[in-house]
Amino acid sequence: MRYLICIGITLIIIIALLIGANELPPFGNPENPEHNELSRGYIENAMSDTGAKNIVSAIILDYRALDTFIEATVLFTGVIVVMTVLKK
Amino acid sequence: MNDTILKQVVKIIAPCIQLFGIYVILYGHISPGGGFAGGTIIAASFILQHITFGKAYADSLLNEGRALKLISISLIAYGVLKAYSFFGDYFDLPHTPTGIPGNIFSGGFILPLNILIGIIVTSTIYILYSLFSNE
pLDDT of A38-86, one tens digit each?
A: 888 888 888 888 888 888 888 888 888 889 999 999 999 999 999 999 8
Domain ranges of chain A: 56-88
The ipTM (two decimal places) reads 0.83
Say which of A52, A75, A78 has its CB closest to residue B29. A52
**Percent of chain A predicted with pLDDT > 70:** 99
Confidence of residue A7 (pLDDT cuts 50, 70, 90): very high
pLDDT of residue A88: 64
pLDDT of residue B135: 60
CA distance B119 to B21: 11
Where is pLDDT greater, at A4 or A45? Answer: A4
Say which of B31, B74, B110 has its CB closest to residue A50. B110
Say which of A50, A56, A82 has its CB closest to residue B128. A82
CA distance A73 to chain B (A): 7
Domain ranges of chain B: 4-132
| Mean per-residue pLDDT over chain A, rounded | 88
Where is pLDDT greater, at B74 or A26? Answer: B74
Closest among A79, A8, A55 to B122, alpha carbons compared:
A79
Where is pLDDT greater, at A31 or B48? Answer: B48
CA distance B63 to A63: 34
Please indicate whether, in this complex, the C-beta atoms of B34 and A47 are within 8 angstroms of each other.
no
Q: What is the DSSP letter of A85?
A: H
Residue A23 has pLDDT above 90, yes or no: no
| Low pLDDT (below 70) residues in chain B | 1, 135
Let me know: does A54 contact A42? Beta carbons within 8 Å: no
Please indicate whether, in this complex, the C-beta atoms of B82 and A72 are within 8 angstroms of each other.
no
Alpha carbon dihedral B73, B74, B78, B84, in 10-degree steps, equals 40
Interchain CB contact of A61 with B (< 8 Å): yes
Exposure class string for A21-55: b at 16+ Cβ within 10 A, else e: eeeeeeeeeeeeeeeeeeeeeeeeebbeebbbbbe
Alpha carbon dihedral B51, B56, B58, B62, in 10-degree steps, equals 150
